[in-house]
Amino acid sequence: MKFTYQNSTKIFFGQGQIEAIANAIPTDSRVLVVYGGGSIKKNGVYDQVVTSLAQHQWQEFSGVEANPTKETLDKAVEIVKSDHIDFILAVGGGSVIDGCKYIAAASHYEGDGWDIFTGLHQVTSATALGAVLTLPATGSESNSGAVITKAETQDKLPFLSPFVQPAFAVMDPDVMKSLPERQIVNGLVDAWMHVCEQYLTFNHGHIVQDGYAEVLLRNLKQLAEQYDQRHNDEWRANLMWTANQALNGLIGSGVPHDWATHMIGHELTALWHVDHARSLAIIQPSLLHNQIENKRGKLEKLGREVFALEQTTDLAERTIDAMEALYNNLGVATKLTQYDGDKAAAIKSVLEQLQKHGMIALGENQAITIEQSRSILEEAIA
Ligand code: NZQ
Ligand code: ZN
């Protein structure tokens, strides 16, 4: 176990905390408030932000889509450059926050922002950034990752940089009151998957990371079982905090990671606009079956510690069944149906994208080659 861990994002958690941005952003900043399709205008979040920025000089950019595109974000990059913006305030879910990370990094670069994803540009500075989270799911509010789509070529790729770590994140669970059911479920499933990507590898004996991951999984299982309580303050606060902890860097420090489900899932989103969390539920069970011998020890541990299953020779298989049942009970499908044309053509297009993106040796053992991805997709695509 060897790692360097820092999480510098200041968290303002709880009801009424949006007003904290008044003091969290330096008053001499030129602020760009960035948001999505307008949900914040209907639920009062926009009004709270405007009230809190009364002492600031600010302007806004809206229209960041779910699964944000470079094409849209580049318009904001131009504004940051031309209007000398020195603070970006993201108000939204993972898409808006990720989009702002791209805007922050690309606005400190003279070339095409997509160079960040191809490795042509290494991020060495970025515009300062803060976030008001409106959808608990990705953990983007306090991590240094972002996933951006180039619509023109249907490429959906991640980048990581400490320079785009938000300076602060406001997490007021009241903002969740206006979330559509679909997005609440997506958030719960995405957070679950984030823990799995950092936990379901092989036995390494790092009991802090394992134990903490198991707590988060048990929380999420409980919140799924108590889904009928989703309108309670406590349920909302617990989901918001659990989803944050699932991908704030802590449980992933010093342990092997997988992330193959995410990398294959991103291709389904880029090709067929499958919601991010739902793309993961489609890929993961089939990927776990494919890698079951590599992951048997950890699957058994998850089965015992999270689902309280008895130790049997088929415990790993039963654990995958229990996970699938958890997704299905929330109305999340574990087979892909959203493609035009036949199944063979669908598999071919995903494999071509994986190849193009260099995703040819995925997972903690680099064991998921294009051939393994083919088998995974055979099972995952209906
Ligand atoms: O655009 P608006 O109007 O805000 O509507 C959004 C959007 O339609 C709506 N919404 C958000 N908060 C709301 C609300 N509607 C009503 N009330 C509210 N309080 O929800 C819809 C989906 O929002 P989005 O931000 O796309 O969802 P999510 O937070 O799940 O983010 C998904 C994106 O994050 C990336 C995904 O790939 C995807 O692009 N990820 C980012 C990660 C990271 N940075 O660490 C890790 C993840 O694995 C993930 O890949
Ligand atoms: Zn995710």
What tens digit of pLDDT does each residue of 351-364 get?
999 999 999 999 99
Distance 93 CA to ligand 1 centre (A): 4
pLDDT at 369: 98
Q: Which atom of ligand 1 is nearest to the CA of 135?
A: 12
Ligand number, closest to the Cα atom of 93: 1
Mutate to test the pocket of ligand 1, among 34, 39, 176, 198 (most ligand atoms within 8 A of CB): 39
Mutate to test the pocket of ligand 1, among 7, 150, 183 (most ligand atoms within 8 A of CB): 183
Ligand number, closest to the Cα atom of 176: 1
User: CA–CA separation, 131 vs 143, rounded Å?
Assistant: 11
Mutate to test the pocket of ligand 1, among 34, 46, 98 (most ligand atoms within 8 A of CB): 98
Distance 343 CA to ligand 2 centre (A): 25
pLDDT at 312: 98
Give 132's pLDDT tier (boundaries 50, 70, 90).
very high
Mean pLDDT of 111-130: 97
Q: Could you tell me if 248 and 7 are in contact, meaning their C-beta atoms sit under 8 angstroms apart?
A: yes
pLDDT tens digits for 168-199?
A: 999 999 999 999 999 999 999 999 999 999 99
Mutate to test the pocket of ligand 1, among 147, 231, 280 (most ligand atoms within 8 A of CB): 147
Ligand number, closest to the Cα atom of 276: 1
pLDDT at 317: 98
Distance 97 CA to ligand 1 centre (A): 8
User: CA–CA separation, 23 vs 200, rounded Å?
Assistant: 41
User: CA–CA separation, 299 vs 301, rounded Å?
Assistant: 5
Pocket (CB within 6 angstroms of ligand 1): 36-39, 43, 66-67, 92-96, 98, 134-135, 137-140, 143, 145-147, 175-176, 178-179, 183, 186, 190, 247, 262, 276
Phi, then psi, of 320 in degrees rounded to 5: -60, -40
Distance 276 CA to ligand 2 centre (A): 7
User: CA–CA separation, 10 vs 69, rounded Å?
Assistant: 27
Distance 263 CA to ligand 2 centre (A): 10
Question: How is the beta sheet containing 128-133 ordered, strand by strand?
Answer: 10-13, 168-171, 128-133, 87-92, 30-35, 57-61
Distance 316 CA to ligand 2 centre (A): 23
pLDDT at 339: 87
Distance 344 CA to ligand 1 centre (A): 30
Q: Could you tell me if 107 and 77 are in contact, meaning their C-beta atoms sit under 8 angstroms apart?
A: yes
Torsion, CA 48, CA 107, CA 163, CA 8, rounded to 10: -10
User: CA–CA separation, 18 vs 27, rounded Å?
Assistant: 16
Q: Which atom of ligand 1 is nearest to the CA of 65?
A: 1
pLDDT tens digits for 231-278?
A: 999 999 999 999 999 999 999 999 999 999 999 999 999 999 999 999
Residue nearest to atom 48 of ligand 1 (CA): 138
Ligand number, closest to the Cα atom of 281: 2
Residue nearest to atom 36 of ligand 1 (CA): 276
Evaluate if pTM is beyond 0.85.
yes
User: CA–CA separation, 377 vs 382, rounded Å?
Assistant: 9
pLDDT at 45: 98
Ligand number, closest to the Cα atom of 102: 1
**56: closest CA among 81, 23, 82, 84?**
23
